[in-house]
Amino acid sequence: MKGLELARAYYEVCAPLLQERIPDVMAQAAVGLVGEGSECFDCDDDISRDHDWGPAFCLWVPRAVGVAALPRIEEAFAALPAAFEGFPSRMDKTRRMGRVGPLSIEKFYGFFLGTENMPAAWQDWLAIPEYNLAACTNGAVFADALGEFSRRRALLLDYYPQDVHLQKLASCCMRMAQAGQYNLPRCLARGEAGAAMLAAARFGEAALSMVYLLNRRYMPFYKWAVRLAADLPVLGAEVAALLTALAAHPLRGPEDADVAEPVEAFCAQVARILQQRGYSPLDEPWLWAHGPHILRHVQNEELRRRDLLKG
């Protein structure tokens, strides 16, 4: 059983007891499993079970409710089953790691966003690491009596403002072109294996970012980014296959120059989608040329002036 499924089943067993002991808290609480941890991305496996894994859920409440009712909440939690489906529960204070159990709604989002306020201006959005946006919108919400947790979640899932989205697309074009289409073959031609490896890695990260942007999904922490990209409908399988092939391809010198072929083929696929969606009028695979055309659609002048190679 995967961690997210285990968490939902465990909560269904625990819910009657919580409703009986702290009905006033449950009337203002959201319950689910969202945040850090492979199980929140449904990426957990046997290896994941060596630490911080097991039946558990988050109980999100407004800060004022949590402060006033915490002793009663802890008493109720102490009565929950200590094990479920053969796994020890993580609801004990010593095993929560700040990821499960009673959590303030404000503090939960503040931890990931850097502020308890929802992002509004483009500066707010760019200040938040994208993997944090992925982490606080992953997993599942099993119940939300008050609706406040889900309201914030929905605002974030509505995705980046259009100007930010376009600027990030333009940035990916420039970084993919610089690292993959230009520097990777040049490093190989010079026999600079270390530089070629770094160019391939930078290209891979930019290519992944491009695919998540085209699918309007936040890119998670790099450890899960390729696995989760594979299921995305727009170029997801293609980028996962490309990065897997790049990882297996030697990058020693001129004899490995054929690695440029799948890189160019993928960039051509990206370019076609950018043209089809009206982001760029160009019909060519050189992504460096597409970046400025995408940027022309950005309305905010200050955002247009940002360095596209910084991401």
Domain end point (choices 139, 157, 175): 157
The residue among 157, 174, 191 that closes a domain is: 157
Residue with tokens 């969606």: 277
Q: What's the pLDDT score for residue 201?
A: 97
pLDDT per position as a tens digit, 4-57: 999 999 999 999 999 999 999 999 999 999 999 899 999 887 887 766 668 999
Cβ neighbours of residue 184 closer than 8 Å, sequence gap 6 or more:
196, 199, 200, 203, 259, 260, 263
Tell me: do 125 and 166 sit in the same domain.
no
Looking at residue 45, its pLDDT comes to 79
Report pLDDT digits (tens) over 235-271.
999 999 999 999 999 999 999 999 999 999 999 999 9
> Residues 166, 153: one domain?
no
What are the CA-CA distances from residue 129 to residues 20, 116, 132, 137, 218 (Å)? 40, 15, 5, 13, 10
Query: Do 139 and 282 belong to one domain?
Result: no
Same domain for 301 and 217: yes
For the four alpha carbons of 61, 64, 68 and 70, in that order, the dihedral sign comes to: positive
CB 220 within 8 A of CB 134: yes
Please spell the DSSP secondary structure of 98-122, one letter per residue.
TTSEEEEHHHHHHHHHSSSSPP-SH
Residue 215 structure tokens? 């699918």
Q: Out of 157, 190, 205, pick the residue that ends a domain.
A: 157
* Residues 142 and 169 occupy one common structural domain: no
Domain of 18, in residue numbers: 3-157
Q: Which helix (H) or strand (E) holds 84?
A: strand 83-84
Give the whole-angstrom CA distance, residue 220 versus residue 217.
9
The answer to whether 57 touches 31, Cβ cutoff 8 Å, is: yes
Residues 82, 88 contacting (CB under 8 angstroms)? yes
pTM: 0.95
Least Cα distance to 260 among 210, 198, 306, 196 occurs for 196
Ranges of the chain whose pLDDT falls below 50: none
Residues 170 and 293 in one domain: yes
Token output for 182 = 């230009």
Q: 13 with 138, same domain?
A: yes
- Nearest CA to 167 among 276, 278, 299? 299
Q: Does 147 share its domain with 54? A: yes
Q: Kindly state whether residues 34 and 52 are assigned to the same domain.
A: yes
Tally of domains in the chain: 2
Provide φ and ψ at 270, rounded to 5°.
Answer: -60, -45
pLDDT score at 213: 98
Same domain for 191 and 261, yes or no, is: yes
Asked if residue 142 and residue 182 are part of one domain, the reply reads no
End-to-end CA distance of the chain: give it in Å, rounded. Answer: 38
